[in-house]
Amino acid sequence: MNRKVGTTIALLLATSTVLAACGGNNNNGANESASPSPSASPAASSPASEAPASEKVEKFEVSLRHIQVGEAQKFRKAILDDIVDKVEAEIPGLEFELDGLQDSFNRFTKLPAEMAAGKPPKIFDLFGGPGDAIKYAKAGKLLDLTPIITELGIQDKFQGLSTFTYEGKVYGLPIGGSVEGLFYNKEIFAANGVNPPKTWDEFLAAAETLKSKGITPIASGSQAPWVPLMLVNTLIGRTAGPDAILGLADGTKKWTDADVVLAFSKYEELVKKGYLTKGELGLNYDQQRDEFLSGKAAMLFDGSWRSSLFSAGALGESLIGKVDFIALPSLADGKGDQTGLNTNFANGYGFSSDLNDNELKAVKSFIKEMYTEEIQVRGLLEDGVLPSMKVSPDSVNKVENELTKAALNVLASSASSFPHFDAVVPGEVYKEVENQIQKLAAGKVDAAGMGAAIQKVADATPAQ
Amino acid sequence: MQRTYKKALPHMVLIAYVAVILIPFAFVLLSSLKTNNVEISKSPFGLPESWRFLNYKETWLNAKINVYFWNSFYLSTIAAAVGVFLAAATAFALTRMKFKQISKAIYQFILIGMLIPGNVLFIAQYLLVSKMNILDTHWALFLPYTAGALPFSVLLISAFMRSLPSELEEAAIVDGLSSPMLFVKIILPLTIPALVTMFIINFLGNWNEFLLSNFFISTDKLKTLPTGLFSLRDAYASNYAQICTGIVISVAPVLIIYTILQEKIIEGLTAGGVKG
Amino acid sequence: MKNTLRNPYVYLLFIVPTITLYGLFFIWPMLTSAYYAFTDYVGLEGYHYVGFDNFDKAFGDPDFVASIKRNLIFIVFSVFIQVPLIIFFSLLISNVKKLQGFYKTTVFMPSILSTSVIGILWGYIYHPDIGLLNNILKIFGVDPVYWLAETRWPLPLLSILITNAWQWMGFYIVLILAAIFTIPKEINEAAEIDGATGMQKAVYLTVPLIKPIISVVIMLSIAGALRVVDIVLVMTNGGPAGETDVMASFMVNQSLTLGQYGYATAITMIIFAFALILTGLYQLSFGRQSERIEY
């Protein structure tokens, strides 16, 4: 009896140890072999072996981190896959190792950790601004792209590279951009006798009418604080003028200034009057979208990238032709240009400064293939992403998606633009804004209190 | 008459309590067989229109619960097994081998581990794992899980081994057995009850673990069940029927083990308080 | 011959792997935590020693202080609401003749499940549109309650407390049951002969006799209340607007989302200190009395 048990145990333990060893190996093996979902751990795999002469076709891998995961990003993923194929065909021996991560996880958790450890992927999704690209550029982690884009002749073709430029050198290239504005359901409006609002007062009146009819005026979901901050950002641009955002970044404007606080109180007004989805602090970005798509809510303040929802085969298919996109209505008590828009051209790709010859070749080819008019137009047509590079008017005319067209129109008819403050203010300040907007939405703080709390953190944060 | 009423009262209260425990499970089970949120909304308490066992297949395959399940299973089993084995070896060395002074010191040293609450080490472990370059691999879970099993297992197995008579070894030594063989052939078989209990406890602890597995692993196909279910919930928020199937799949193995081994589990977990 | 049990190589062989793993994942993190707590480490090189700055910042941070309060609320709820209920149910179960095993096994069951899965399960029960509770309320014509997103009064915190109680009460009930069963039957029988009613037996006999185990339950509850994190992260992630943040969830967000490792490790030190102090205090004041119970 004892013997049998003893042997069984010995066997069990032996098997487990072997399995454990295999498990460890399997893990590494699985990470390097092709898998149906293109995700591999950059930490476990190691990039290329040196191949000094290009006579022998030596295989090497280049890690590529992207954020095109999930249903909403499938069009961009398709474009990325095409680029990957093209570049692999061009550079013998090259194999890209794609690693797809959720946007905010990559931006705020994974990439910073990898930068700190000195081991970022070779090519990665990167945001511009002092909290991201500029920070890494200062620490010497990013490849200087100025010579490459000069060589390729595209250095003047970008709409704006300021968020990726440090000390005159370019460290990242934006992929495309967006504007933020108001989506509204034309059908619901018509059924309830509401006209698209041109002024803030009309906007409030429309919301009141809708609310009285049992329709949620504005779809909201503030569980992830960046979502409500889209509206807040545009409000600041309207109450304090288009230069206010940059002013907040360099300290010439304070979060406690009356015009900035006015923006907060405009948002507060929406909360107090009950125009936002009930229980919205517990709803995430997807649920906010669903509120609008299901017809429960009549309006949605969001980015123009949402236009891809309203195309064949996408989640908002049933609403095609029933939705329009306009700029935020003008504020009577606003300051400066009331057609001012939030435009974002701060998301793109960056490259590690730690590259060997082969990897550098791959990077150059990647940039060459990715940043072309053709790809820009594809992004525009297939995904509603506004071009970050200058494209010919003919291409623009090819757009069929109603909402992408509306976004382009809104962009064209606005006289000024401003960035999102998350791209220009220090990370600690941005986090405090996130903290405060949720408190504002919960009624725990008022507009003035919010401004004061943010300014306190801004004062304590060293200048960039 | 009054007597039976008095006798029934405690039962009524207890049945009510049991109902509070079981009804949420029943609700989840029922919902898992409905089509989607719309149907749940229409008839929350009613039987499903069509018993959608398809949901289970979909969750198992499309939502990749099978991957998460396998990851949880093999990680929990191996970490628990290795942990218990190492603990047993250490317990043997500490209680049966003749190094009394040092053993006492080492024993106290290991016991300190029981004082430390779970989350206190979390960040430091994260930084450590990150520096060891095993972040986002299964080693990042296997090593902490195995280490986590050690203090409590050493404690319990030592207690058990101490109760074994010391004459056992004497006879074996006379026969010419060396320590390792002594351990494997004599002591280990006798401590099996304690080993099995510890294995089950550690297995359950690993299977249920959320904090480390959620933050140390980001690649989807490496996730364990709790983490996988968590990301499932966010992705499928419009179809709670699917999420409920995920919950059922997650909970079923544990419940099965519990029904078979409840005495052992209760006994092990309540001895010496909660682990970790 | 006896030498084999003195064989240092074998001894080391059996000890070293355990000590290494243990040292690496318990002791080393403990030390580095204590170290980083006094620096401004954010994950990049070039961090500095900052003395007690992190601790000052923590106690000056209204959000963190609020999270301490919530842990205290957890403790108060566990000790003053859960424990009496636990004792009540234990007494009830120990008094019934039939179905004892059934009650015991059923109430214990939730405690062996993953806290995160329980969080997801109850998140569903609390769902404003399709959850179990709101559907029951709907039958009575009550408007949907925002169990986890209400901002006007601390309902989310209460909801989490209820879920937590639901999961863990059974565990402690079984613990106390075990102690009740060690009370010799003769004592009970003697009391009955003397004419004591069920109620009197419970209050004057059973409860005093199980004081040591009640003490253990209270200590474990305090330790548990300080450890709470999974359930908060899964159910509300500290929301809405940080209303359900506890020390540990606050710490997780500071470290992983914001990269404030120095600050966050200082917070873990604070949590550890709280745990030591509270359990120490409890041991000193109440623990000592219930050391030995003589029949």
Instruction: Give me the domain span that covers residue A226.
Output: 178-343+405-460
Confirm whether C45 is domain-assigned: no
Average pLDDT over residues A240-260: 91
Confirm whether C163 is domain-assigned: yes
Do A195 and A335 sit in the same domain of this protein? yes
Do A356 and A417 sit in the same domain of this protein? no
CB-CB neighbors (< 8 A) of C258 in chain A: 108, 427, 431
Do C81 and C25 sit in the same domain of this protein? no
Distance from CA of A420 to the nearest CA of B (A): 26
Do A236 and A125 sit in the same domain of this protein? no
Q: Which amino acid is at B94?
A: L
Confirm whether A277 is domain-assigned: yes
* Helix (H) or strand (E) run with residue A14 in it: helix A2-32
Enumerate helices (H) and strands (E) in chain C, giving the number of each.
16, 0
CATH of the domain at A106: 3.40.190.10
Do A160 and A172 sit in the same domain of this protein? yes
pLDDT bin (cut points 50, 70, 90) of residue C288 is low
Selected residue of C21, C54, C151, C235 to mutate for chain A interface (largest A Cβ count, 10 A): C151
Number of other CB atoms surrounding residue A65 within 10 Å: 23
Confirm whether A49 is domain-assigned: no
Do C163 and C25 sit in the same domain of this protein? no
Do A171 and A183 sit in the same domain of this protein? no
Tell whether omega for the bond before C240 is within 30 degrees of 0, i.e. cis.
yes
pLDDT of residue C246: 94
In chain B, the percentage of residues whose pLDDT exceeds 70 is 97
Q: Which residue would you say has higher pLDDT here, C290 or A27?
A: C290
pLDDT of residue B177: 75
Confirm whether C143 is domain-assigned: yes
CA distance C129 to C108: 30
With a cut of 70, say whether residue C76 has pLDDT above it.
yes
Interval B167-215: pLDDT, tens? 777 777 777 777 788 788 788 888 888 899 899 989 999 999 999 998 8
Q: Measured in Å, how far apart are chain A's first and last C-alpha atoms?
A: 73
pLDDT bin (cut points 50, 70, 90) of residue A84 is very high
Confirm whether C219 is domain-assigned: yes
CA distance A356 to C208: 75
Q: What is the mean pLDDT of chain A?
A: 83
- Locus of tokens 């474009």: A79
Do A191 and A299 sit in the same domain of this protein? yes
CB-CB neighbors (< 8 A) of C96 in chain B: 10-11, 14
CATH of the domain at C69: 1.10.3720.10
Do C225 and C257 sit in the same domain of this protein? yes
Average pLDDT over residues C203-207: 82
With a cut of 80, say whether residue A140 has pLDDT above it.
yes
Confirm whether A26 is domain-assigned: no
**A112–C239 C-beta distance less than 8 A:** no
Do C213 and C238 sit in the same domain of this protein? yes
Do A225 and A167 sit in the same domain of this protein? no
With a cut of 80, say whether residue A31 has pLDDT above it.
no
Instruction: Give me the domain span that covers residue C204.
Output: 52-290
Residues forming beta bridges with residue A124, ordered by sequence position: A65, A350
Do A194 and A330 sit in the same domain of this protein? yes
pLDDT bin (cut points 50, 70, 90) of residue A56 is low
pLDDT bin (cut points 50, 70, 90) of residue A147 is very high
Do A67 and A117 sit in the same domain of this protein? yes
pLDDT of residue C289: 55
With a cut of 60, say whether residue A47 has pLDDT above it.
no
Of A206-210, A230-234, A419-423, the least confident: A419-423
**C259–A282 C-beta distance less than 8 A:** no
Do A357 and A321 sit in the same domain of this protein? no
In chain C, which residue's Cα lies nearest the Cα of B237?
Answer: C124
Of A211-215, A416-420, B207-211, the least confident: A416-420
Confirm whether C42 is domain-assigned: no
pLDDT bin (cut points 50, 70, 90) of residue C287 is low
Average pLDDT over residues C119-129: 92
Pair A279, A285: CB distance under 8 Å: no
Handedness of CA A128, A134, A135, A136 (dihedral sign): positive
Do A160 and A231 sit in the same domain of this protein? no
Angle at A247 between CA A243 and CA A249, to 5 degrees: 130
Tell me how many domains chain C contains.
2
Do C90 and C225 sit in the same domain of this protein? yes
Interval C10-21: pLDDT, tens? 888 899 999 999
Point out the domain boundary residue: A370, A397, A424: A397
Residue B195, C-beta contacts closer than 8 angstroms, at least 6 positions apart = A9, B84, B88, B157, B188
Of A6, A117, A286, the CB nearest to B185: A6
Tell me how many domains chain A contains.
2
Of B116, B147, B215, the CB nearest to C21: B147
Of A16, A19, A37, the CB nearest to B220: A37
Confirm whether A200 is domain-assigned: yes
Angle at C30 between CA C29 and CA C35, to 5 degrees: 90
Confirm whether C156 is domain-assigned: yes
**Structural domains in chain B?**
66-236+251-270 (1.10.3720.10)
Interval A153-194: pLDDT, tens? 888 888 778 889 999 999 999 998 889 999 999 999 999 999
**C44–A281 C-beta distance less than 8 A:** no
Q: Which of residues 63-102 of C touch B (CB under 8 A)?
A: 89, 92-93, 95-96, 99, 102
CA distance A313 to A239: 39
Q: Which residue would you say has higher pLDDT here, C126 or A99?
A: C126
Do C31 and C132 sit in the same domain of this protein? no
Kindly report the pTM of this predicted structure.
0.79
Distance from CA of A141 to the nearest CA of B (A): 18
Handedness of CA B218, B220, B226, B232 (dihedral sign): positive
The alpha carbon of A390 is separated from its chain's Cα centroid by a whole number of angstroms, namely 20
CA distance A17 to C250: 38
Look at strands A123-127 and A297-303 and give their pairing: unpaired
pLDDT of residue A102: 72
In chain A, which residue's Cα lies nearest the Cα of C127?
Answer: A282
Q: Measured in Å, how far apart are chain B's first and last C-alpha atoms?
A: 50
* Complex confidence, ipTM: 0.86
Do A450 and A336 sit in the same domain of this protein? yes
Average pLDDT over residues C114-133: 92
